[in-house]
Structures are given as structure tokens and as C-alpha cells.
Structure 1
């Protein structure tokens, strides 16, 4: 199986010894590397080939890294990949200017090769983390443990289940899950996927939308029309917000599901339908059954297989993954290069996201529109929202230096991930995109120890 194109790195380095050393190490880490030795060669390569990352020395024989980056920004033919600059002590100011222009990071000479490799994996995780390969264009649901488990179950569900119930808050991506099931199940490109929001259609029109109508069956019915059951014949029908249906409509839906036949409004003959039915709701259907607002027989008929999609605040490790995915979509659509600042990333993690993925996507789009700089800061993502610092990161609550603040943020993030995975180190390391050994080292460095599970 070939590697995805995102696993290729562009290395711009004129020192032959360092260049060979970096190429060898990157190859051992699983990356493909194009090594160029001048700025102009690097500029041509980045302009014409897709890379997941550019690693460039600031000092080059023909032009410096700042000039190279500025010229690539000016071309704007395509969204630039992240840039990681290698700099000497005397060029720190230039590296900082590059960060303000939108470069991802820099590392100072002399550097530890392992530290450089760690930065490379952070900036180009697609080559190393299997769940993240979906950012290359597949339909992954996230990198959190619970979403990976759901995704792994989808091929089997698509093969064996004809009726599925998907539950979760508004905006968590229930329709996206339904589409993914359909894509795994379809036998051809023409297999239909038809979706309808039952809560967005008035009761008087819903029956016609579901089952269709005959010509002249009511005022305005100038011709016969197929409903969504007929439109989805041979494919998948997605009934969103099924809990909003009236009891009378639930009776008619139950008959269609049980007998797999429908009768158009104003018609008499039955029409057989063959559909995979996926229902979705953000309501507690079991409680509705107890309250008498949802039919018990319909509940058990659609509750054959249930997938619960947790809200975004329960799987915080997905927040930055999706934020970067949505950002990449904006970059590709608008042609403007943007990166999210570390402070903005922390603000995204701190926010509860009551609107879930839908709200996160809109926030990223808002930031790209409002920001005049390549670096997206926290205030561009939110409108009149208090951006609180992490309350569950007691370490260095009021840091006095940037290093202290970043250490506090990292400690809080790792603690939250450990708690979300019930202190299972393997699952936590996988969610963080690091090895178990790296997780242990970070826990030791940040004074996180296993007996803290009792304290929390």
C-alpha cells in the first residue's frame, strides 16, 4: 500500500552532512524526502509539488529563509504547507518574524535530532498517525478513542444492518455518520442517499414528503411526486430528528418500516420500497416512550442498532484535529494561508462547544474571514465569548514567562486526556499522537503521577 502524499517532506539545506543525516532519519521515521540545496530549488519544488511539511535552513547560499517564505506567500498559487525553520542563535529575531508571517515553528542550532523529529511528527502527523490519514480526503470521524471505535464498526454495520438509530446532540455529525455507512454499503455510484429533517417539515406536508402523492390529491398537487422512501429505493434513507414526529405520523411510519411498502397520499396501490433506514435524534426516545409521546413499538423497531455520537466536549482530543481539518478546507477554498496560534488552540480546547462540530466549523470559517494576518488568534474565533484559562491545570496557575504558560497548558491538556481515557496510558498516548514512552516522559517532566487519579 502506497503512502499518502501528505507523508512527503521538502528539506532545504545546503550543508551536505546535515542534509544527509536528516534525510536518513526522516526516512527511518517513515517519511519520503525531497532534498534541495538552494532556496530557488526549494521555491520551485514547493510551488509545484504537495508536501506535508517544509524543513528549511534560514541561511542558504542564494537567498535566506525569510526571502524564500515571503516569495512563496506572494505567489499564492496554492496553500503553503507548514514551514519549520532551522536557525542559528544569531537569527532568532528573523525566525520570530517568520512566525508572525505564518511559519509553523523553528528550532535553534545546535539542536537535538530527537527534538526536531518530534516537531516534525507534530506538524506532519498524517504520516505517523493512522486515524489522522482521513484528513487526506477519507471520511474519518475523529481521532478520539470512541470515534475510532465507531468508525471501525461501520463496515460491519453497513454489511449487516438494515435499520440503525444514531443519537447525539445537534451538530455532532449524525448525518455524516449516516453518509459514511452508506458509502461502505453502496454497490454502485448511483445508489441514492436521501436525507430529510422530520422536524423541519410541517405535519401537513410530512406525509407527502415521506410517501409522495398522486396528482390532484390536494390543492396544488399538479402532478404525481415520489416521496423520500421511493427516492431512496435501493439505497439509504436518513430520517433526521425522528423524535419530532407526531403520534399519528409515527403510526404511518411504523407500517412503512415493518412492511417495506408505502402508499402515496391520494393513492390506493401499495409500492414496495427497499431502503436501508438510518434514523437520528437528539432527544431521549426512551423517556419519550415513558411519557407517551413516542410509540413503544416504533421505538423498538428502529432501535435495532444504536450508535451514540458523544458531544465534542466529551472528546476534546478531536477539537484541534477537526479545527485543522476545517482550516485546511478554508485554505483550499480561499487560497489564503492561515495557521492557528498556540493561544488560540488553547482557547478552542477550553471552550465547551455547545453547538459541537457545526459550531466549530463556523468558528474556523469566521476566523479565516476576519483575520488580516496568517496567524489566527483566539479573538477571531469567538464573538463575545469569555476565553477562560484552563481551570483544571493547577500547575503554575499564573505563569510569569511564556515557557511557564506553555508548560501549564501542556500539563492541563495531558491531564484532561488522561481523565477522559480513565488513565489508560495506551489509549491516552494514541489520542495525543505520541508513544507510551513519550507520554511517561512528559508526565514525569510535568509532575503528573498515576495516584493523581484519586485526587481527580
Structure 2
């Protein structure tokens, strides 16, 4: 039996174009010229997909999107918007639309959208089609925070809306992104993750968009970029706040136009990629500070997801510890057990590095243990939570002291800065990269301050 697409548009020419294109794809179509007619068609026989225009004689397409999302959640709906109407597209995605397509309609883009939407509809009827996440790529735990996050991720998997994932370093942002990918219509296609802070600025455009032979010294062959590598799938931009402003402009165009221009090429290459992004920073503050473009912020932050830090879901510690030990020890019989007090010691720890730090702690503890049991001493934790730099500074008597600053303001400020940086280094276990991120400064700036304050010795 043919799959059915409901076309809702008051322009006969658009309805005819869509009908011809979809019929050639082997699909049956039902047409409606008004919002009321579309709602009657939905109640009479729910389709496999709905394509609706924004402006209708008796209402707007957003109302239809909301109705379908509430009453027919198994039916994906895509919005047809005016060219360049990004605000309308974002409104539709937030209302529950699967995706959008702009007028004048590009037929190849339409075919890709319809194929992806129908795959999603098939997956919603057959959960077995969803990809099974690899070990270590699940959201582990049953706490209220992680249960809500899991439900939110599974819901977002049904959409093509850009999602921004915010959370502290090591909290599991990429795990959430993979969960969204693995349970969506793109699960069988590539998931490509890139850390934007790890790519040198001068190579970033080539890495993301690719380059053609001869475009610069050393470009001895054509090279596809990460957008092309993720074709049909998901591109995860981790630490997106680290993108330089010039690159942010090009990324915005690539997302809006669904096309990229390789370095040295005169032509754009169409791409079919869902973009997910993440950062440990507050993007709204980055926008206020002028370090992140306002238009790109609203384009990638259509839906915001917050990943809670480990200290806010300590009820999940037993399940996390069991899974990590299982991964470390493998399937053999030499799996170590926790002694009494080890779990209590972890519950009293603040985990500034979150789940990633927990993994490192357990790997180190297993190496230091007798092989059968892991004790609290093996964990090498301070039983009190590590102090934040501000708290540590206060404990060392670094409160504001007006009298001490008189006559030597520079020396006084250097003492305060020295104590704060020392506390931050201690919290980050003398990892300078982590310390720079914690303090919100560049690695180069931290290195200069360490030399100036004679802390590098």
C-alpha cells in the first residue's frame, strides 16, 4: 500500500508541483487548500507525512503543526516557508515541525526531506528500527534529572530542529547528541563529532567544508569536509563557542542554505545534514560579550538541552560505577568490587570533571588496588568537595582589604590573582588546559600569567 502525503497550500500551482513530484516517488497525495479542510482530512485518514504552507486563507500553518504534534504525533509535518524567512522556520520547528523547506521549492531538497521524514514515520511505528547504542554511549541512571533528559532526547530525535546541548565539561553532552542521532531517521547514516576548539583557526574552513586541489600550498588533492562526511546523518559541533567570528558567518550560511563552498571552489555543494552543537559556556553571555554572533546563536539554539552535572545526580553513582567497571574490566572474571566506604567517599566528592573524571578515578583506582577490591584509599579523593577558586581564595584570607592595597595596588592585585590561579590549578589537578577553561581565559593568557606570577616554577 502506498504511503500518503497530505499537501496543504492555497496555491494550485504549488499543490500540482508537489503532487507530480511525490507521485514520481511512488507516493499517494491528498490535497487541501485551507486549514479547516486539512484538519478534516487528518481526522478522516491520518497521512504518513504532511507538507503545509505557512499562510492559509483561514489561519496559519503553525496552528496545523501544533494540532498534528498534539493529536497525531506519529505524523511528521514539514513547513513550506517564504525564501529567507528564518524566523518563521524557527517558530515552526519550536512548534513541533519536523523540518522546513523554502520557496521557490528545490525538488532535490524536497525529495531528501520527504525520504527522511518517511523513514522517521516508519521508525516510529517500528521501534526495532532505531539504532542500538554502543556500550558507553547510553545515558546511564534513573534519577529524575537523567530520566527527564532521556525523554527529551528521544522526543527531539523525531525532529530535524537544530539542538544546542549545554553542560559542564565531562557531563556527557556527546552522549546526548548520539542518543538523539541513534533514535532518529538518520541513525543509519554517519554521526560525525568535531571539537571546534581543537582545530587550528587557519585550517577550520577546510576541515568543515573541504577544499579543492591547488586551493592552497599542500592541497595536492580534493578533500571533502566534515559536512560532506556527515552527509545524510548528523554533524555534532562540540565547543561551538570556540569558533572564531569569521568562521561563525560561514557556518551560519551553511546551515541556512544547506550547502557549503569548499575552499578554492566557485560552486556550492548541497548538503543534507542535521547540526547539533554543544558547549560548556553560556552562549547568551558570549553573545552579550560580542564573542558569538547573535544570528548564529538563534539559528543553532532553536531547542536548548541542559545536561546536569554529576554532583546533581549522585543517585546514579552506583549504576555509573558498575557500568564503568564493567567496561574497564571487560567480560572476564577479574572485575573488582567496591569495599564499604568507597561509594560513600565518592558521594562526598564534588566531581568537577563529572562523568569523565569518575571514569579516570576508577581506572586509576583499579590500577592501584589489589585487583579484587577498590577501597576509599584507592580512589585518592579528598572527602570534602574541592573548593571553587573564589571559595579557596576566601579561605586563604584573600577578601578585599582596602588598607593592604594602599601604596602598592599592583602588588596587592597580583597577590589576589596568584591565589585565585593557584586554587584553580589545584582544583583542576594542575591541568593547565582545564584551568584556563575554568577561569574563562585562553591557554596562552594562562601561560603568560603563570610566568608573570612565577607560578610556572
Scaled by the length of structure 1, the TM-score of the pair is 0.53
Q: Specify the alignment match of 2:383 in structure 1.
A: 387
Deviations 1:284-325 (A, max 9, x none): 110111111111000000110111001111111122221111
Pairing of 1:223-372 with structure 2 (within 5 A): 223-332=221-330, 335-372=333-370
Q: Specify the alignment match of 2:146 in structure 1.
A: 147
Give me the whole-angstrom Cα distance separating, in 2, the residues matched to 1:206 and 1:177. 25
The CA deviation at 1:386 is 2.2
Given the superposition, is the C-alpha separation of residues 135 and 218 from structure 1 closer, same or farther in structure 2, using an over 3 Å criterion? Answer: closer
Give me the whole-angstrom Cα distance separating, in 2, the residues matched to 1:196 and 1:285. 18
Deviations 1:21-40 (A, max 9, x none): xxxxxxxxxxxxxxxxxxxx
Q: Specify the alignment match of 2:158 in structure 1.
A: 159
Given the superposition, is the C-alpha separation of residues 286 and 322 from structure 1 closer, same or farther in structure 2, using an over 3 Å criterion? Answer: same
The CA deviation at 1:146 is 1.1
Given the superposition, is the C-alpha separation of residues 270 and 137 from structure 1 closer, same or farther in structure 2, using an over 3 Å criterion? Answer: closer
Give me the whole-angstrom Cα distance separating, in 2, the residues matched to 1:162 and 1:230. 19
Q: Specify the alignment match of 2:218 in structure 1.
A: 220
SS at match of 1:238: strand
Q: Specify the alignment match of 2:174 in structure 1.
A: 175
Given the superposition, is the C-alpha separation of residues 335 and 135 from structure 1 closer, same or farther in structure 2, using an over 3 Å criterion? Answer: farther
Give me the whole-angstrom Cα distance separating, in 1, the residues matched to 2:347 and 2:134. 20
SS at match of 1:142: coil
The CA deviation at 1:373 is 4.0
Give me the whole-angstrom Cα distance separating, in 2, the residues matched to 1:365 and 1:355. 14
Give me the whole-angstrom Cα distance separating, in 2, the residues matched to 1:326 and 1:317. 15
Q: Is the CA contact (8 Å cut-off) linking 1:161 and 1:305 kept in structure 2? A: no
Pairing of 1:366-445 with structure 2 (within 5 A): 366-382=364-380, 385-388=381-384
SS at match of 1:159: coil
Give me the whole-angstrom Cα distance separating, in 2, the residues matched to 1:322 and 1:287. 32
The CA deviation at 1:352 is 0.4
Pairing of 1:439-454 with structure 2 (within 5 A): none
Give me the whole-angstrom Cα distance separating, in 2, the residues matched to 1:344 and 1:357. 16
The CA deviation at 1:188 is 5.7
Deviations 1:30-72 (A, max 9, x none): xxxxxxxxxxxxxxxxxxxxxxxxxxxxxxxxxxxxxxxxxxx
Q: Is the CA contact (8 Å cut-off) linking 2:154 and 2:179 kept in structure 1? A: no
The root-mean-square deviation of aligned C-alpha atoms, in Å, is 2.1
Give me the whole-angstrom Cα distance separating, in 1, the residues matched to 2:246 and 2:151. 37
SS at match of 2:157: helix
Q: Specify the alignment match of 1:395 in structure 2.
A: none
SS at match of 1:279: strand
Deviations 1:347-383 (A, max 9, x none): 111110011000001111111222114121012122x
Deviations 1:140-196 (A, max 9, x none): 34221111111112222111133110000100010111111111014563x100010
SS at match of 1:185: coil
Mind listing any 5+ residue stretches in structure 2 that lack a counterpart? 1-132, 386-457
Q: Is the CA contact (8 Å cut-off) linking 1:216 and 1:223 kept in structure 2? A: yes
Q: Is the CA contact (8 Å cut-off) linking 1:347 and 1:388 kept in structure 2? A: no
Give me the whole-angstrom Cα distance separating, in 2, the residues matched to 1:288 and 1:314. 25
SS at match of 2:224: coil
Q: Is the CA contact (8 Å cut-off) linking 2:173 and 2:278 kept in structure 1? A: yes
SS at match of 1:194: strand
Deviations 1:366-410 (A, max 9, x none): 11222114121012122xx42249xxxxxxxxxxxxxxxxxxxxx
Scaled by the length of structure 2, the TM-score of the pair is 0.53
Given the superposition, is the C-alpha separation of residues 146 and 135 from structure 1 closer, same or farther in structure 2, using an over 3 Å criterion? Answer: farther
Q: Is the CA contact (8 Å cut-off) linking 2:210 and 2:224 kept in structure 1? A: yes
Give me the whole-angstrom Cα distance separating, in 1, the residues matched to 2:301 and 2:235. 16
